[in-house]
Amino acid sequence: MSLATLLETDRRWMRLALKEAERAFDAGEVPVGAVVVKDGLVVGRGHNQVERLLDPTAHAEMIAITAACQTLDTKFLSDCTLYVTLEPCPMCAGALVWARLSRLVFGAFDEKAGATSTLYNLVQDPRLNHQMEVISGVEADHAAALLRSFFRAKRT
């Protein structure tokens, strides 16, 4: 697969993650969305539900990983890619490692909690039992604009 084709494929899946982020936005949640893809099919999806579930672990990535594991009837997501609109936090980055995802593709960087490149890089730390490929900045402008709009509305 050519680099241009791979980038377009990543953009297509990220647009689905952005739809999940918009669902979170509409529900009054921080607008982060995620999808897990295996062999060209979505096997898990999620968006932030921290407020609705009163659960600090109900991040989009965690919900998408759980859904994918249930769909595939496994605890490991080898040969899967997670697309998420915001760089994962330390909790989610750790879950990506434990789930053994092959690839992570994210949109906007998280300067306050980013744990896959900005503050830390847990998913490529050679001291851990698993590392994955990381692609950053896919549809970042759209993801960042959605987050800015959400927090602007919260402040007013």
Please tell me what DSSP assigns to residue 87. -
- The closest of 48, 45, 36 to 82, measured between CA atoms, is 36
Q: Judge residue 118's burial from the number of C-beta atoms within 10 Å of its C-beta, 0-12 exposed, 13-18 middle, 19 or more buried.
A: middle
Using DSSP's 3-state secondary structure scheme, residue 122 falls into: helix
Kindly list the catalytic residues.
61
CA distances to 78, 141, 142 from 102, rounded to whole Å, are: 6, 25, 25
Using DSSP's 3-state secondary structure scheme, residue 56 falls into: coil
